Every structure is written in structure tokens, then in C-alpha cells.
Amino acid sequence: MAKLIAGLGTSHIPAIGGAIHKGLQQDPYWKPFFDGFPPIRQWLGEQKPDVVVMFYNDHGLNFFLDKMPTFAVGAAPQYHNADEGWGIPTLSPFQGEVGLSWHLIDALVEKEFDIVSCQEMLVDHACTLPLKLFWPDGDCPVTVVPVCINTVQFPLPKASRVYALGKAVGQAIQSWDSDKRVAVIASGGLSHQLDGERAGFINKAFDLKFIDSLLSNPEWATQFSIHELVEKTGTQGVELLMWLAMRGALSAAGPKVSRVHSNYHIPISNTATAVLALAVD
């Protein structure tokens, strides 16, 4: 059976891609963010995952307000990047892991999650940037299964529902008939609001408590309704749902995880940025 080895989380601001393209990683504005990644890259080089399952949110590329699935799973052999103009101009297509995609889809439908299955899927910065941040050199060395969670168009899925989705994904990974090593990635957040009266809102205290809860009390954030999470983290801060899904997946592998490395920095483009790596004990 496949082995679930790690959970990773990172922010995915489009301007990060522009900084990578322009070589600004050591610029004073960007350095505190990029300095969070080398210890995790070294650890990933030792762990050598073969596949990643990417929890992310689409920004109007595949799904728009007229057609917005709550949960969608990619089942394509390749995923092409469609950049919005802020980030990395060109990237090679990412290779899919079709066998795991269909295994996840079958398992999630069996557990009564209504999944949109996407045999063709473009991916935006929310999917491409984490891969480039964790594996910056050359083509991406892992295959990918994108799992898209709606954080754009209300009604949004409850935090407890997303945690349950992650747990079901983790259970499906462990039952996949393969000897491959799998990591799960959460892409998004943390607290930020890009529009309205609270534009620029950041809640450092909540962010740090949330990050700590992922180790000690992973279901802590599920006590809050979606509207409460918007109040506490901002309209775009609900992307922390991806982090909950990631942690839910790890819970399927056992009760304990350990922190490999984490970093928190504010602000980058009016966003509280974070990176986290968790190992399955």
C-alpha cells in the first residue's frame, strides 16, 4: 500500500511567482518569506515523496461564479499552468497521477462526498507556486493530484466538512495499491482580506494559534462557522480550509505528527504568509 509521509502548507500569493521569476528571493521585502523554505526542501530531499495531493482553491480559471463546485478532483494525465500575469511566465506541464486520482474519486463518492471529476484541468498559481517553492530546481519531481475546494462563492463548505474530506483523502491514499510515497499540500492563506472596508486585515494572533493547533488539537478550527472564520481571518483568509484538509489527511495515518519546520511572516501583498511541514510519526 502507498505510504502517507508528510503534510505541507504554504501561502500562494501570485506575486511570489513574480519574485521567483525576477530572482528577488534575497530582496529585503521577500527574504523573510523565502527563508522559511530551505530546511523543508532539505527534508523533502531526504524523504523523497513520489506524489503530492494538492488541496487548493481555484481563482476563476476552471470554475467561475456561474459554475462553482464545492469539491473537485483532477483526473488528468497533465496539468498545464495558466498564469494570471503576475507570476512565472512559463512552466512545464505538471504530470498527473491518474491511478490515485480515480482511487480518490471512487473512495470519496463511496463516503458520500459529491465530487466533480475533471479529466481536463488547468491550474493557476494556487497549484503551481507550492510546487515551485518546495522544489525550485528544474522540472517538478513529483506527480500531482489536485483537489479543489471552493472558498470563493458562498455557500462554502463547513470547516468540519473539509476536515472530514481531508481524512477521507488520507484513508484513500493509504488504501491505494501502490508502493509510492505521498505527501499532501495545503495551498493558501493565512489571514487576509483584499477588498471591502477591511481590506488589508490580518489577524496574527489567530493565525499563530491555528498553526499550533494543527499539531496539538487539529480539529480546533472546526468549532467555528464559515462566517466566524471570515470575521477572524478575512474574506480570503478562509483559505485556511486547505490547511484543515491537509491536517485531516494526516490524521488518517495516526494520532501524532511532528513539526519539521515552520515560518510566519507579515505582510506580503497584504497577506499573512506561512509555511509549515509536518511529518507523520
pLDDT, tens only, 36-89 = 999 999 999 999 999 999 999 998 888 888 889 999 999 999 999 876 666 777
Phi and psi, residue 120, nearest 5°: -135, 135
- The pLDDT confidence band at residue 7, using thresholds 50, 70 and 90, is very high
Contact, 228 vs 251, CB < 8 A? no
Q: Tens of pLDDT along 185-235?
A: 999 999 989 888 888 899 999 999 999 999 999 999 999 999 999 999 999
* Number of neighbouring beta carbons within 10 Å of residue 222: 17
The rounded distance, in Å, linking the Cα atoms of 32 and 146 is 28
Could you confirm whether 103 is annotated as catalytic? no
Enter the pTM of the model: 0.95
Quick check: is 125 catalytic? yes
Q: Residue 186 has what pLDDT? A: 98
Q: What is the pLDDT of residues 253-272, one digit of tens each?
A: 777 899 999 999 999 989 99
pLDDT of residue 145: 98
Domains of the chain: 3-280 (3.40.830.10)
219: cell is: 480539529
Identified catalytic residue from 12, 103, 125, 265: 125
CA distance 39 to 59: 30
E-strand spans in 11-67? 51-56
The DSSP H or E segment spanning 229 is helix 226-233
Residue 64 pLDDT: 87
Half-sphere exposure of 169 (CA within 13 A, CB side): 34
**61 CB contacts (<8 Å, ≥6 apart)?**
82, 122, 123, 124
- Measured distance CA(159)–CA(176) in Å, rounded: 26
CA quadruple 121, 123, 62, 178: dihedral positive or negative? positive
* Average pLDDT for 170-192: 96
pLDDT of 181 higher than 80: yes
Q: Is the distance from CB of 249 to CB of 167 less than 8 angstroms?
A: yes
Reading across the β-sheet that carries 78-81, which strands appear in turn?
A: 94-95, 78-81, 122-123
Beta 71-74 vs 3-10: how paired, if at all?
unpaired
Say which of 192, 227, 261, 265 is annotated catalytic: 192
> With pLDDT > 70 as the criterion, what percentage of the chain qualifies?
99
